[in-house]
Amino acid sequence: MGRLVAVGLLGIALALLGERLLALRNRLKASGEVESVDLPNCHLIKGIEAGSEDIDILPNGLAFFSVGLKFPGLHSFAPDKPGGILMMDLKEEKPRARELRISRGFDLASFNPHGISIFIDNDDTVYLFVVNHPEFKNTVEIFKFEEAENSLLHLKTIKHELLPSVNDITAVGPAHFYATNDHYFSDPFLKYLETYLNLRWANVVYYSPNEVKAVAEGFDSANGINISPDNKYIYVADILAHEIHVLEKHPNMNLTQLKVLKLDTLVDNLSIDPSSGDIWVGCHPNGQKLFVYDPNNPPSSEVLRIQNILSEKPTVTTVYANNGSVLQGSSVASVYDGKLLIGTLYHRALYCEL
């Protein structure tokens, strides 16, 4: 009798594991394919060979690139080279990417930048917030951008128990931000288990020098985050749920959910066109290819433009799509004055004129 019970329990466990594996493949869209959507005026950006995971652009056309991300389970074309921050002036006739110098005292050897966000203070001081993973840990670095010297002055490193697995960030003050945790755990094995079991414990955290709190919860894997031009709404990409959440921001900085936009792709970073409020999204049509890298069958790229997201029927347009022959693993798309920049997790970056 005992053997029958043991066999029965084993069968149930195997069935559960099989169901979870199938569900994970669906969340990763492991069979996803993409039809090419080309733009006529595009070229790869020189100097970016190993990823440009996030991009943010100042009102004067200076674009910042977070480059060289290394992460457990992700391919890297430059595994031994630290990451950095590049800048490109989009007002130049032929803009090119230049690496910004970072002030002495900051540990450049372990710099592993992920999501970034710009904040402009009332006195026009520009702060650059960078999610950093030194030795695969989780910190947020705050820099002051010194344009005359093309450099970043490191001001502060932030660590907190409510920031165990930070992915992206949107700055709302000189030392204030919202950040996404793509997992509840920081340990790699527990992260994998959390994802496999679809625990939906990922969240959004608000940080200020006086208060740190979780303000939105229940995400499969909270990823890209950004704020509307009127500062009333926070947008959060849930990459494995294929969703963008619209959250209303309150005076106490808490968030309440207004709506969820469901999409048919893995949504990564979110960029906002300040003039129109349109959301530009770097997406992954097939997430499994990101983690099981095959140079003969590389991850594809996709860029979506979402208009009128607060309306009953937002307009979703595929602006660019490629099977990986040009661009692999698009993670962000940012626009400025008719120009489009597309960054990737660990590949190249694309400059297009719309």
Domains of the chain (ranges; CATH) run: 32-353 (2.120.10.30)
Tell me if 116 is assigned to a ligand binding site: yes
The predicted model scores a pTM of 0.95
DSSP 295: T
List of residues 6+ apart from 65 with CB closer than 8 A: 48, 52, 54, 55, 85, 86, 87, 88, 97, 341, 343, 349
DSSP per residue, 75-130:
--S-TTS--EEEEEETTSSS---EEPEE-TTS--TT--EEEEEEEE-TT--EEEEE
Please report the pLDDT score of residue 184 as a whole number: 97
Give the number of other CB atoms < 10 A from CB of residue 313: 6
Do the Cβ atoms of 86 and 67 come closer than 8 Å? yes
Q: Which of 43, 75, 114, 250 is catalytic?
A: 114
269 annotated among ligand-binding-site residues: yes
Residue 254 is predicted with a pLDDT of 98
Q: Mean pLDDT for each 10-residue chunk of the chain (354 residues)?
A: 50 59 91 93 96 97 97 92 97 94 95 98 97 97 96 98 98 98 95 94 98 98 98 98 98 98 98 97 97 95 98 97 98 97 98 95
182 is in an annotated binding site: no
Residue 268 annotated in ligand binding: yes
For the question of residue 154 being annotated catalytic, the response is no
Closest CA to 255 of 292, 222, 301: 222
- Look at the chain and count its residues: 354
Please indicate if the annotation marks 309 as binding a ligand.
Answer: no
pLDDT at residue 73 in the model: 86
What's the CA angle centered on 179, arms 165 and 120, to 5 degrees?
140
Tokens linked to 120? 């402009």
CB-count exposure of residue 162 (10 Å: 0-12, 13-18, 19+) = middle
Amino acid at 57: I
Report the pLDDT value the prediction gives residue 107, as an integer from 0 to 100: 96
